[in-house]
Amino acid sequence: MLARLPGRHVKTGCLHNHAEWSTNTNTMSDTSYDVIVVGGGNAALCAALSAQEQGARVLVLERSPEETRGGNSAYTGGGFRMVHKGLETVKKMIPDLSEQEIANTDFGEYTAEQYLDDIGRLTQYHSDPDLAETLVRNSTDTVQWIRERGNIRFEPRYGKYAFKVDGRFKFFGGVVVQANGGGRGLVEAEFKAALKHGVTIRFNCRVTSLLRKSTGIAGVRVLVNGFDEEEIHAQAVVLACGGFEANREWRTRSLGAGWDLAKVRGTRYNTGDGIRMALELGAQSYGQWSGCHSVSWERYAPDFGELDARTSSQRHSYPFGIMINADGKRFLDEGADFRNYTYAKYGRMVLAQPGNFAWQVFDAQAAHMLRESYKMRGVTRVTGKTIEELADRMQDVNPAQFVATVREYNAAVKRDVPFDPNIKDGKCTTGLTINKSNWATTIEEPPFEAYAVGCAITFTFGGLKINTSTQVLDISDQPLPGLYAAGELVGGLWYFNYPGSAGLMSGAVFGRISGREAGLYALGKTLA
């Protein structure tokens, strides 16, 4: 490994209240770097840290103001889906794991084969096998690298991926750790680490195009504070600035009618700039442009995500209830699989319902299973002592049909099968047009409650084609010299669906690779 360059005075855009290495200006005398990273989320920051690790002089350009920095990563729960061997791996990631946590938790294990099987199954085997293999095989080592390089503190991911049964937590799937402080805590730590290692960061800088020369990439053209234009030169550029989910026009054009009405779960700044500028340079589009990660969301949520910790629009406890549309009917299998294997596709199904909304319905048996997000500010919730009373309070729903649906559902539940939220318990319904496959408890114990949900898009699946070295490829599958990509603008990984917490993991894996490769290329240590 190349030795790192000595620390430098760091110039930032609007970066206040950090440390003595920061300055309070958005102008700078330097107009040339080894590597420019476009974006400011987890993938971008991993790329910056990795490029600097090779000895490169690195500039990060983030379109958003400092106060909303972090891209979509800041809106996540901070979980990482990785290959692990249970407690053996978890203790390496969480050295301060308590004896009580060890005694009260079964972390299970998650093999590379299981991870690849999940990706294949959920994407209907469309996922690029080389990219999937690279993601999976590098997952564990990358989380360890983030912990050390980014000074990230991890903790067990209880609640979403493990429920307490008989006094003990049991994890299911491959997500056992999350960054302390969630996604926001993750990116804050990564920003601090980048500054500490000498990375230059500028905010309010929208990259509008790539500069080229006869041998490849020459840098970027930037719009600063929405007005001033600059050209900044570099030997290599890493694009890590997200998909096009915040672009209503692109969304509707690619995903179809109605998608202009969807909420945006995360940042408002992911409008496809990185994809557009690479395509203009001859890059190849790739992946499922008609697909996206979309979730059940508060029906009356703001158009874009909010970083206020006191609010949450997530509505992901649907496996323990039923979902009803405006006609008063169920329209999907709420218990088809664990939430982390269905939540990213069910938003699309909600959007397709009459009026683009649905209601999630629960009774007293499920009340203690609902996530904290159901108890926060900004929740559209109605209650009733009877199903009939609840029906009358559910706005825009056919009440008579809803009551009939609940009665039909209750009659179809297999009552002799025990309920267990930590496994696919087989507690199902029989004889319905759409059966519920697991966790089918009856809706019959008052009080009853219902939550209005719509659809929110997290990120788009279509993007740029890269190879396993993260080089952006042209239409002939040849690398565009000096151009790399990582994160949500990479196409080819996700189709139709997505395994929960694989987004941060893929961003970190390919961010780390892209930074390393871009740094080595910029320093003349590798071929194009």
Mapping DSSP onto H, E and C, the string for 412-479 reads: HECCCCCCCCCCCCCCCECCCCCCCCCCCCCCCCCCEEEEEEEEEEEEECCEECECCCCEEEECCCCE
Angle of the 129-149 helix axis to the 502-522 helix axis, nearest 10 = 80
The torsion of the CA quartet 14, 306, 461, 337, rounded to 10 degrees, works out to 140
**What sign results for the dihedral spanned by CA atoms 442, 448, 451, 452?**
positive
**Within its chain, how far is the Cα of 73 from the centroid?**
6
Amino acid identity for residue 309 in this structure: A
pLDDT at 76: 95
Q: How far apart are CA 512 and CA 520, in angstroms?
A: 12
Residue position matching structure tokens 């299981």: 114
pLDDT at 528: 52
- Within 8 A by CB and 6+ apart from 524, the residues are none
Q: Which of 38, 62, 58 is nearest to 48 (CA)?
A: 58
Q: How far apart are CA 524 and CA 215, in angstroms?
A: 13
Q: How far apart are CA 238 and CA 224, in angstroms?
A: 19
pTM of structure: 0.92
- Within 8 A by CB and 6+ apart from 526, the residues are 517, 520
DSSP 204: S
> Strand runs (DSSP E) across 172-283, as ranges?
175-179, 200-202, 205-213, 216-224, 228-239, 263-264
- Within 8 A by CB and 6+ apart from 88, the residues are none
Q: Is 205 left (phi over 0), alpha (psi -120 to 50) or beta?
A: beta
List Cα–Cα distances, 247 to 24, 486, 488, in angstroms.
Answer: 31, 19, 14
Angle at 508 between CA 505 and CA 513, to 5 degrees: 130
In the structure encoding, which two tokens stand for residue 24, read together? 């309070």
pLDDT tens, residue order, the chain (528 aa):
333 233 333 333 433 333 323 333 344 446 899 999 999 999 999 999 999 999 999 999 999 999 999 999 999 999 999 999 999 999 999 999 999 999 999 999 999 999 999 999 999 999 999 999 999 999 999 999 999 999 999 999 987 778 887 888 999 878 999 999 999 999 999 999 999 999 999 999 999 999 999 999 999 999 999 889 999 999 999 999 999 999 999 999 999 999 999 999 999 999 999 999 999 999 999 999 999 999 999 999 999 999 876 678 999 999 999 999 999 999 999 999 999 999 999 999 999 999 999 999 999 999 999 999 999 989 999 999 999 999 999 999 999 999 999 999 999 999 999 999 989 999 999 999 999 999 999 999 999 999 999 999 999 999 999 999 999 999 999 999 999 999 999 999 999 999 999 999 999 999 999 999 999 999 998 755
pLDDT at 308: 77
Residue position matching structure tokens 């998650």: 110
Amino acid identity for residue 97 in this structure: L
Where do the domains of the chain lie, and which CATH numbers do they carry? 294-456 (3.90.700.10)
Q: How far apart are CA 306 and CA 45, in angstroms?
A: 21
